[in-house]
Structure 1
Amino acid sequence: MCKIIAIANQKGGVAKTTTTINLGVGLSKVGKRVMLIDADPQGHLTMGLGFPKNLRVTLKTMMENIIMGLEFDPREAILHHEEGIDVIPSNKLLSGMDMSLFTVEDREKVLKEYLELLENDYDYILIDCMPSLGMMTINALSAADSVLIPVQPQYYAADGLMELLKVVKGIHQRFNPDLQIEGILFTMDSSHYNNSKRNKQAVRDAYGAEIRIFDQTIPRTEALAETASEGVSIFSYYAKGKGAYSYQALVQEVLNHA
């Protein structure tokens, strides 16, 4: 059975894309069939895996086919990456999808309808969400079984979570009663700084009683920052470093939570 996880936070720069790529490749390395969905018009996941940004067939194409009720091959957009994962790419043209969806009946469920055509082929589908709470993110949450929330342990992290959690609760109540919170993941962590420790504790105090917080944190490392320009995961770029170790441990936590 396929599990769909949306990686979401309306704040940018919290390693959503890095986490999507490395969690996905990590799951593939232990034998899982994995698809990554680039649901961000910036196309960072697509480019971060070494694919060009001027592709003709993308997630936008597939969702437009669903909206217009066309017959189409749902696998036409799939790209195959050398590390064993499949990818549905995006580029800046996806930015018009929010406006297009506003005129569509059941507009919150277009992505869900598309993924239902693919999910039998995969054990995990990971959706890299855009840094906003617009219609594309609502589509991702409506399609997902759970949402994983990367959070940088900064001063306003606990407050910033509140808006996202309200949206998740609303999606759960209105469109997706099965939606769960996979957990909060601390990313870009400089754990030796007192500020980081204090800010992580503030999040735990505010949300830890109700929401799972991953034991594993993702460190801030040069190697993780450099992978995007290489088009590969941390496992290929620097398998013996702290970044690879941390994502390997995260994979195990996700598997244990399945």
Structure 2
Amino acid sequence: MKTITITNQKGGTGKTSLTLLLAYGLADTGHTVLVIDLDQQCDASYLLTRGAYNSSQTSYEVLAEEQPLRPEEVYSTIAGGIDLVPASPRLNRLDTVLAGKLDVQFRLSDALDELETDYDYVLIDTPPAINFAVQNALTAADGLIIPVQADLLSLKGMQTLESVVKQIRRRSNPRLKIYGVAVMRYQAQTIFARSISQALDQISEELDTKTYNHTIREATAVKEAENAFSSLYEYAKNAPVTEDARGLLKEIMEDLEHD
């Protein structure tokens, strides 16, 4: 089982969209996938279940109450091959609940030990923050993928994340690596976006990683597929943005398979 965290401190970079693109794509290639939603907005949970899950049995209970994760306690989703540990709005008080307690960053990794042989991949969707939920996600992960937009604030978020990754490697997860940076909602026709992309490559190199070659262009089909509770690969099979997603998925799978 390989665990991948999708995170960026900046909001609006496409974390949930990237999580779903990867989940659907990996499931379509025959892999078993578990999505863990740690974002209090619960978007991934809603899109994967139409909101049909028990709101008292979520990732909040796993982190706040050390509730174990067993196969029978994981939710099936509307997509074949994808299971879910849903989020809860109560995650917004997680830091207060865990304040002063020891080793809280290991709670998710300890819970995942129960599922080690049940899934090929675990994808963790995170909030736009550096909090206990994200610390748990990074401590539990084999590696992370950083979704960004081609803008200055995404660059700033990457630089902040770099220091957090160094701390996590030093204190709780020395194996943590950054698989790569995925550019989302890209508008190639703008000079600004192209210039920012060059800066992204430079920062990626400083992070000892890379920017993936395939970018996900700005396209209404992504949101339309989510609104239809559907995989982009099924909803818009031949759309240019779907080809973007297939190319990015291939790059990421090559990294995961050779890690």
TM-score, normalised relative to structure 2:
0.91
Counterpart residue identity of residue 209, structure 2? I
Once residues 7 and 163 of structure 1 are traced to their aligned partners in structure 2, the CA distance between those partners, rounded to angstroms, is 15
Task: State, as a whole percentage, how many aligned pairs show the same letter.
Answer: 30
Specify the alignment match of 2:42 in structure 1.
43
Once residues 95 and 81 of structure 1 are traced to their aligned partners in structure 2, the CA distance between those partners, rounded to angstroms, is 26
SS at match of 1:49: helix
**1:176 aligned to 2:176?**
no
Residue-by-residue CA offset, 1:80-137 (whole Å, 9 max, x unaligned): 3334211111120222222222243210110111111113111110000111001100
**1:78 aligned to 2:92?**
no
Larger displacement relative to structure 2 (47-56 or 208-217)? 47-56
Q: Tell me if the contact between 2:58 and 2:88 (Cα under 8 Å) persists in the aligned partners.
A: yes
TM-score, normalised relative to structure 1:
0.92
Post-superposition offset of 1:182:
1.0
Q: Which runs of 5+ in 1 are unaligned?
A: none
Specify the alignment match of 1:62 in structure 2.
62
1:141 pairs with one of 138, 161, 164 = 138
SS at match of 1:75: helix
Q: Tell me if the contact between 2:30 and 2:81 (Cα under 8 Å) persists in the aligned partners.
A: no
Number of equivalences:
254
Specify the alignment match of 2:242 in structure 1.
244
Q: Tell me if the contact between 1:151 and 1:187 (Cα under 8 Å) persists in the aligned partners.
A: yes
Post-superposition offset of 1:208:
2.7
**1:227 aligned to 2:225?**
yes
Instruction: Please tell me the root mean square deviation across aligned C-alpha atoms, in Å.
Output: 1.8
Once residues 72 and 88 of structure 1 are traced to their aligned partners in structure 2, the CA distance between those partners, rounded to angstroms, is 9
Specify the alignment match of 2:251 in structure 1.
253
Residue-by-residue CA offset, 1:190-247 (whole Å, 9 max, x unaligned): 0121111110001112333622211111111001122232222211221211222122
Larger displacement relative to structure 2 (187-196 or 87-96)? 87-96
Larger displacement relative to structure 2 (16-25 or 112-121)? 112-121
Once residues 244 and 175 of structure 1 are traced to their aligned partners in structure 2, the CA distance between those partners, rounded to angstroms, is 37
4+ residue segments displaced more than 6 Å: none
Q: Tell me if the contact between 1:79 and 1:87 (Cα under 8 Å) persists in the aligned partners.
A: yes
Post-superposition offset of 1:73:
4.1
Post-superposition offset of 1:65:
4.5
Q: Which runs of 5+ in 2 are unaligned?
A: none
Once residues 8 and 154 of structure 2 are traced to their aligned partners in structure 1, the CA distance between those partners, rounded to angstroms, is 11
